[in-house]
Amino acid sequence: MSFRQCLLASAVIASSVSFSATSLAALPFFGNDKQEVPSLAPMLEEATPAVVSIAVEGTQTSRQRVPEMFKYFFGAPQEQVQERPFRGLGSGVIIDAEKGYVVTNNHVVANADEITVQLTDGREFIAKKLGADEQSDIALLKIEAEDIVALPLADSDELRVGDFVVAIGNPFGLSQTVTSGIVSALGRSGLNIGGYEDFIQTDAAINRGNSGGALVNLHGELIGINTAIFGPNGGNVGIGFAIPANMMKNLTDQIAEFGEVRRGLLGILGSDVDAGLAEALNAEVNMGAFVSEVTPESAADEAGILAGDIIIAVNGRRLNGFQELRAKIASMGAGAEVELTVVRKGEEIALDVTLGDATQTTVTAERIHPALEGATLANGTDAGGNNGVVVSEVEAGSPAARVGLQNDDVIVGVNRVRTNTVPEFRDALDNAKGVIALNVRRGGSSVFLVIR
C-alpha cells in the first residue's frame, strides 16, 4: 500500500471570511411534502460555480543512456532524448474573482505548455501560471474572466476532528462531483507526499482527479486543497489528505507578490516530543517540537529560543510535532512575525520571532529552463562588480554545455532585458518567446548565447 497523488486536478477561488462550525440540520431544504429536511444543496448551489475544470497539455522529456557498443561502433551520443506529448484533465478553485486567481496542486500543472480552465457555465479560458511551489504542491493560475465567483476562505486553524466537510472536484474526469465526510485528523505529516506536510485528513471520498480541488465546510467556505489519497491502486478507502486553507493562502500570497515562495526560516534542529523524551526532560507535555540545536545568529537565536526548549504552539495554535512546525514556518514567508509558545523548565514562555529568509539563491538550472540542464546557478557579480547570475558549475556534455555556458560565466540579461538575480532570470525566461539570447559576461568580454 502506498501514497499516491491524484493525477488530475481541481482548483478553488477564495476570499477571506471567518470559520464557524454548524450542523447538517442548520441547512434546511423543503421537499415535496413541505417538511423541512437536512440538505447540502443550498450551500453547494453557491459553492460549486467557484470550482472549475482544468485541462493541460505539454511535453514530457525522458533521457536514456546509450549502450557502450553503440557509442563505439556508430559514434552515437551518450544519451538519447525522447519527447512525448501528454494531456491531463482535472479541476480547480477560484480564490480571487476580481484578479482571476485560481489555485490548484503543482503536480496537476507541472510541465504543462498550455492550461485551459473551464467554468461550470461552459466558458473556457487559457490560464497563465503565475508560479508554483513543488515542495508544498501548490500552484497559482490567472485567468482573464468576468462574472466569476470566488469561494470564501475559512480559518483552517479553527478546524476540529469531527467537523463535517464536503469535497468538490472531478474524479476520473467526471465533472462537478461532490462527496461528504468529516475531518478525520489534523496536522498529518511524515507521509512522504511532499517536502512540507501539515495535512487535513478526511474520509470524504477523494479519487484520481480530485487533486487541487476544494474541501469545504458546511458554510461553503474553503478549508483545504485536496492533494493526495492513501489506498490500493489509487482507489478511495476513506483516507484522503488536503492542504489547509491557511497554508495555501500564505503560499499563494507570496507567489502573487514575488512569483515564487520565499520561505520563512527559524533556524533550529529538533524532533517530535514523545512520552519518553518528555519524561527525560521532566516536562509535563507529550506533544510538540523539541529543540535540539539553535543556529547562531538565526531568527530563533535572536528571539531567545534555547536548545532543550519544547515549542508547543504557533500563534496560540497547538502543535502535534516538529514536522508540523516546520511546515507552518516554511509557509509563513520571510520576515513574518510569529509568536511561539515554548516550555522551558516546566514553565510556558511566549516568544516573538521575526522569521529569516530560507530562499535558495543557488539552483539547478533545469528547474528554470530544460535547455540549461547541467548548470548550477547562483546570485553573484561579474568582474566589474555588477550583479548577475553566476554559472558556478557546468557538467560536460550537458544541454547547458551545448548551449555554450562555461564555469564562472555571469548571465546579465535575457533578450536584452537586464537580470540581476536568479528570480529575475527565471521571470525573464518565462516571458521570452521564440529564440532566446543570453547576454553573458565572460572575463572582461561580453558574449551572446542562443537558445532555440
**Residue 445: is it exposed, middle or buried by C-beta count within 10 angstroms (0-12/13-18/19+)?**
exposed
Domain boundary among 239, 258, 277: 258
Same domain, 113 and 205: yes
Same domain, 221 and 295: no
**Residue 17's pLDDT is what?**
34
Q: Domain check: are 59 and 182 in the same one?
A: yes
Q: Do 351 and 369 lie in a common domain?
A: no
Q: What is the CATH number of the domain that holds 326?
A: 2.30.42.10
Q: How far is CA 104 from CA 9, 11, 94, 145, in A?
A: 7, 4, 9, 17
Is the domain of 83 the same as that of 232? yes
Residue with grid cell 489547509, as numbered in its chain: 244
Residue ending a domain, among 205, 229, 258, is 258
Q: Does 12 share its domain with 125?
A: yes
Residue 49: the pLDDT is 94
**pLDDT block averages, 10 residues each, the chain of length 452:** 39 37 47 70 93 88 59 54 81 94 93 92 93 90 94 94 93 84 88 78 85 93 90 73 94 88 87 84 85 89 93 91 89 90 91 83 70 86 82 90 92 89 78 87 89 88
Tell whether 67 and 182 lie within a shared domain: yes
pLDDT value of position 422: 78
- For residue 8, the model assigns a pLDDT of 38
Same domain, 377 and 308: no
Q: Are strands 310-314 and 289-294 parallel, antiparallel or unpaired?
A: antiparallel
pLDDT at 223: 96
CATH number for the domain including 4? 2.40.10.120
Terminal alpha carbon distance of the chain: 44
Residue 6 confidence (pLDDT) = 41
188-230 pLDDT, tens per residue?
Answer: 877 766 678 889 999 998 887 788 899 999 999 999 999 888 7
Same domain for 328 and 393: no
320 with 402, same domain: the answer is no
Q: What's the confidence (pLDDT) of residue 194?
A: 67
Q: Which three cell numbers stand for residue 35?
A: 417538511
Domain holding 165, by residue range, is 1-258
Report the alpha-carbon distance of residue 394 to residue 373 in Å, rounded.
9
CB 148 within 8 A of CB 119: yes
Cβ–Cβ under 8 Å, residues 167 and 179: yes
Count of domains for the chain? 3
Q: 214 and 335 share a domain?
A: no
Same domain, 339 and 401: no
> Alpha-carbon distance 437 to 166, whole Å?
49
> Annotated active-site positions, please?
107, 137, 211
Closest residue by Cα to residue 54 from 207, 193, 211: 211
Pick the last residue of a domain from 357, 386, 401. Answer: 357
